[in-house]
Structure 1
Amino acid sequence: MRIAFIGASHWHLPLYLDPALEIPGVGLAGVSDPDPGAAAALGARLGCPADPDFRALCRRTRPDFVVALGRHADMAEEAEFLIAEGIPFALEKPCGLDAAQVERIARLAEARGAFAAVPLVFRNGDFLALLREEAAAEGAQCMTFRFIAGFPARYRQAGCDWMLDPGPAGGGCTINLAVHFLDICRLLWGPEARPIAAAMSNAAWGHPIEDYSAVTLGRTGSELCLVETGYLYPGPTSTFDMHFAIRTPRRYIVAPDPGTVVLLDPSGRREVRRMHTTNVAHYRTFLRDVLARVRRGAAPLAGLGDMVPVMRMVDAAYALAARSGPFSPRPAAR
């Protein structure tokens, strides 16, 4: 199976490339990036064809599968091309700048019967499976997800300065990090889950994108979920200040670190389970899963249609932040 990577200067490239090269029978069809220097350097390092034009690369090499990365502003265009060419692909989240873009490509993918996966990678792990089991039995009444990543300078160091500009990025930590937890909330609560309040700040770094975001979600009744994300943690890439807590009538569930889940019953009895609780470890599982699904003709675990309601929630969060506070990386009318 031959895989191409487009928009390949994206900082997530190793999360897909490294596990791909470990799979027997998988090879590189080529790499593309709009920066000709980055494309040439990657092609030379990996010993595969390279081209700054992803269309030309795909038409020349005819890959069996494409991992589509790149700027958020370019993702819908990449998807449209791959759908038209009939090439199965995975499109890095958020899949576009807003819900309108993602809805358009989701409709195209559905009409063509395209394999269009989205790495909402918590769906590939045991932690979300545990939460879904608990919520199905008793319901989740209150939830908090705090997920604070490293400084935004890491994007400059990775050659992805565009991440600090709301034009090509669509926003900051909300559109980049919070999407995972908005998806989790919707999976646990259903379509009634919606943002009811949001506040964002760029006080830490002064970039035009938010470096801290607090989004509160609710649904019918008094259930609440708080999603905190940011670029504030003084640590290397893929390390986080994280703490998740979910309360059901039966248990209080806490994820205090990247590998531990603690379940407490009403009497205070503790059960400790070891499992991955951040997104990073799941990209390897995701990549293997999508390739296996393509081989057997199955649908992806999460596709563009699943990303549409998440992006509607993102848009609603930015609109609420613009109305309620002095800072938002998007204008209020958007």
Structure 2
Amino acid sequence: MERNNQGRPVRLGLVSMAHLHAYSYADCLMRLPKDQAEFVGIWDENEERAKENAARRGTRHFRDLGQLLAEVDGVVVASTNRRHEELVLAAVEAGKAVICEKPLSINAESGARMVRAARDKGVPLFTAFPVRFIPVVEKARELIRSGRIGRVLAINGTNHGQMPGGWFTDPEEAGGGSLIDHTVHVADIIRWMLGAEFTEVYAEYDRRLYDIPVEDCAILMMEVEGGVFATIDASWSRPRSFPFWGDVTMGIQATGGVIRLDAFGQTMTFYSDERMRPSWEFYGENADYRMIAEFARVVREGGPTQLATGLDGLRAAEVAFAAYEAGRRHQPVKLELVQI
């Protein structure tokens, strides 16, 4: 894909508003400096939803996906998980850069097809992992990569959240429940911090909290190249009354020190008589905005980036796929990564 080097703002579009994160991405696209990026418009399988959200943000809605793709340099895909491949491949075939919501795919073969298509077409494909853009996560990676805390021995991570409902609990549309939804963020930052692949996974998952057709809690135990042991608690265990949507935390034990990381720890407690319950209001940097702004920059200028690639998204998702297999077997599973 040719970089936009004509001095004009890069043209970006949003493909689908099905995912909860799409609303944040739409707001981020709207906030980008106008001399750097133009939010061309929204296509959605639900035309009324596209029309309403485009009008709210002062942009256009498109009835035809091809028309949107003809007018942009890159797109953000935020559909249901099942539709990622269809929509990513349409954008790639049109020669447009893509950043796709996580998980990249609902099975390894689907993810591999996307990554190969982007590679063969020479089109940038990224996965939406905004946790990479949280300053404390960046700092932890710097401390690990510089060797300041010695050799990492073990990592325990959590990604708890509220049960999102809707299509997220439909195994056909989502590909699973809390395990696939919440494993991939932490799996990605472990890979990004260590520069190493997972080699073995054991997991247990179940429905313990809600009467839904997918799992609402999961615990993963993994080995990483170099002998690092890691765990991830991936669950929808936060009730509606909880003061914040959830968390991303990590405890990193190394030969020369320990890191305790709370990615969303910058909160203040807010008491509202309207809500009749306290809430934790986050005042840290907006990681979604930093990620979308970096996507716009890369589409405009090219060059190195800390955005997660499509392959990064596939590798993180493969941890979740292996975890499902391990849970079915009730025994550890060796990770056999798809060759690209």
Residue 122 (structure 1) shift: 2.4
Structure 1 counterpart of 2:177: 172
C-alpha separation in 1, matches of 2:262 and 2:75:
35
C-alpha separation in 2, matches of 1:204 and 1:184:
27
8 Å Cα contact 1:80/1:105 also seen in 2: yes
Structure 2 counterpart of 1:39: 50
8 Å Cα contact 1:9/1:38 also seen in 2: no
Equivalence map 1:10-25=2 (5 Å): 10-25=19-34
Structure 1 counterpart of 2:215: 210
Structure 2 counterpart of 1:251: 257
Structure 2 counterpart of 1:228: 233
Q: Which amino acid aligns with 1:11?
A: L
Q: Which amino acid aligns with 2:188?
A: D
C-alpha separation in 1, matches of 2:28 and 2:44:
20
C-alpha separation in 1, matches of 2:101 and 2:249:
24
8 Å Cα contact 2:224/2:230 also seen in 1: no
Q: Residue deviations 1:38-93, cap 9 Å, x none?
A: 2232233334332354234323xx11221111111111111111111111221111
Question: Mean alpha-carbon deviation: is it higher for 7-16 or for 189-198?
Answer: 189-198
Structure 2 counterpart of 1:306: 312
Structure 2 counterpart of 1:105: 114
Structure 2 counterpart of 1:51: 62
Structure 2 counterpart of 1:3: 12
Q: Which amino acid aligns with 1:4?
A: G
Equivalence map 1:50-69=2 (5 Å): 50-59=61-70, 62-69=71-78
8 Å Cα contact 2:30/2:57 also seen in 1: no
Structure 2: 5+ residue runs without aligned partners? Answer: 1-9, 267-281, 332-340
Q: Is the strand fraction higher in 1 or 2? A: 2
How many residues are paired up? 300
Q: Which amino acid aligns with 1:148?
A: H
Residue 257 (structure 1) shift: 6.5
1:125 and 1:254, CA in 2 relative to 1: closer, same or farther beyond 3 A? Answer: same
1:243 and 1:181, CA in 2 relative to 1: closer, same or farther beyond 3 A? Answer: closer
TM-score w.r.t. structure 2 length?
0.80
Q: Which amino acid aligns with 2:153?
A: Q
8 Å Cα contact 1:150/1:237 also seen in 2: no
SS at match of 1:291: helix
8 Å Cα contact 2:136/2:263 also seen in 1: no
8 Å Cα contact 2:13/2:72 also seen in 1: yes
C-alpha separation in 2, matches of 1:143 and 1:21:
37
1:247 and 1:85, CA in 2 relative to 1: closer, same or farther beyond 3 A? Answer: same
Residue 298 (structure 1) shift: 2.5
C-alpha separation in 2, matches of 1:287 and 1:139:
33
C-alpha separation in 2, matches of 1:120 and 1:55:
26
Q: Residue deviations 1:261-311, cap 9 Å, x none?
A: xxxxxxxxxxxxxxx999x93111101111111111225532112222212
Structure 2 counterpart of 1:148: 160
- Tell whether 2:151 aligns with 1:139: yes
- Tell whether 2:192 aligns with 1:187: yes
TM-score w.r.t. structure 1 length?
0.81
SS at match of 2:93: helix
Equivalence map 1:71-110=2 (5 Å): 71-110=80-119
1:244 and 1:201, CA in 2 relative to 1: closer, same or farther beyond 3 A? Answer: same
SS at match of 1:107: helix
C-alpha separation in 2, matches of 1:21 and 1:221:
43
Residue 36 (structure 1) shift: 2.5
Residue 315 (structure 1) shift: 1.0
* Paired-residue identity, %: 22
1:81 and 1:130, CA in 2 relative to 1: closer, same or farther beyond 3 A? Answer: same
C-alpha separation in 2, matches of 1:69 and 1:44:
18
Q: Residue deviations 1:134-153, cap 9 Å, x none?
A: 3331221111112211133x
C-alpha separation in 2, matches of 1:53 and 1:130:
43
SS at match of 2:213: coil
1:194 and 1:15, CA in 2 relative to 1: closer, same or farther beyond 3 A? Answer: farther
Residue 103 (structure 1) shift: 0.9
Q: Residue deviations 1:231-250, cap 9 Å, x none?
A: 12124796215542111111
Q: Which amino acid aligns with 1:9?
A: A
Q: Which amino acid aligns with 1:125?
A: I
Residue 28 (structure 1) shift: 2.6
- Tell whether 2:194 aligns with 1:196: no
8 Å Cα contact 1:122/1:180 also seen in 2: yes
